[in-house]
Structure 1
Amino acid sequence: PYGGSRTAPVQSVDTHETSGSSRDNGSGSPSTGDVDPAPEPVPAPDADPELSKTHDDTVEIRSDLGEISFAYDGASSGEDFAYQGQSWDSGDNRLTLDVQGTHDGEDSVASWYNGQTGGAAVHTDIDTNDEPQELHYAFCGTLTFLDYGSASVETCFGQGDSGLENNWWMGGADFGRVGGICHVDADAADSQATSLVACLDSDGLSSNEFEVSMGDAHANYFSLYSLSDLPPLALAPLGTAITNFVDSDPPNLTTAEAIALKAFAAKLADASLELPTSWSVSCDGCAWSITDNQLWAG
């Protein structure tokens, strides 16, 4: 177990005079009151070799959304932490971050990390709590999705301790915790190339590995919604109506749909129109359109 330095127990020395006995002092005459020689001092046990030792560590992030990159912004917590760099493996769609730090397990580091992520984080060990209680170190930076107009999100990582393994935490305040950890790029355009929904997943992966995927929906905004499930929206501004609908927790709304709808509603918060203007969207084997001032549904 982790702990502070330990000292060897103090050895007692017998300085009492002997009673009722005599011993030869080497001169042929008895002597009394001899002092027993002090025993050899017992060395203190070695400290835990893992404590206060700098380790070379890696965290790996696999992506189903094309190339991703990470830029460390200098924000970190933990003793002797150092960010070493990143590398992208296009053959395996894997981003690797190289870092250094001590494995001391501090609750202050976990508190710092929880403050940075706002509780929106996942981990690579299913046995850990919803929020870390102790972390060795933590650091933050910008995670960028290069294939989606270089959309980016502030992302933090933290290394914890799970028995024989050191598990990783990943997340950020801009990831929504609605049945999962997903990020929607609220500034994305209506196109596959720039409309981003990225969900973090660590189920079934190793203790230093994450996966970034599209979640349970397509990346394009207009394929995320079950529009026929939306209520009539003429009674309130569109953004407010969508937000109220999502907050009602309808049973058929998926996590990705809920997050995307709220992000879209935020974009419409200042819109003066209560109904959308006309638009059309098409895909392979499908097409929809809506004329001016008709309900956005169906």
Structure 2
Amino acid sequence: MTSIVVLGSTNMDLVAYVPRAPARGETVTGREFRTVPGGKGANQAVAAARAGAEVSLIGAVGADEFGARLRSALEHSGVDTDLLRTVEGPSGTAHIVVDDEGGNAIVVVPGANGTVTSLTHGDEALIGTADALLLQLELPLSVVVEGARTARGLGVRTVLTPAPARALPPELLAATDLLVPNEHEAAALTGHAEPHAAAQALLRFVPEVVITLGASGCLYATRGAEPVTVPAPRVRAVDTTAAGDTFVGALAVALAEGRPVPGALAWASAAAALSVQRAGASTSMPYRSEIEAAAGEPEAEPA
């Protein structure tokens, strides 16, 4: 079975559903409130596990009620949490407003995630067993760089989601095999609003780029070849929270299983399209059988 390791954040999402997001200084009345397990690391781990991989998560939760719930939710989705640390203090939280168009605005409070500043020997050994290491930017940058360098040294493919968007140090880019920003993150990194121009700028630093384009699909670019655009299935979005994480988790599984890039992108796009039709982050993520059906493929066992 494909093995994926995720080095990333675990948060409890505190989600308010509103007709529209409030402007600065404004109060609006919401119609519903939920607490949902999330965090970009945990989301990608759950997405990859449900897509059919054997998945482990390296990170931290707090010694609070949220921490216990987060660990339980991950294990329920089949994610190995042996190297998910429990530390004193609160777990990370994400405060999310979702409007009636499915759009969202998010404030992340790192909590326990901020304590993960370096890898242990056990973390390094686990990374060495993986087909791919998934990274994001909700942990301290020092450990993200260390994780990418460790994976590169062990011959493990690194997949980096540069979110929340920030300047990326050269040593992180040098150890990244596949960069997966959304169109806004790509523009922030390069200064190019046009995705093709942004992709070409990013290829100066990494060998492969996938820019997700929301309802317009995604753009794949690699050095020495023509870019490939894959359209997204047309669906009505209910909540776009974690759609990008669903895409990345499913894409990592598809690529690790040896699917050709266009097929892997279409498969991941089908997974993301399923997720936006449901409320929540990890709770919205589809299982492998659902992805296969949505992608128009016969259901298959993971390799």
Q: Say yes or no: TM over 0.5.
A: no
Smaller-chain TM-score bracket: under 0.3
Rg comparison, structure with higher value? 1
- Higher relative strand content: 1
Q: Relative contact order (C-alpha < 8 Å, sep 6+): which is higher?
A: 2
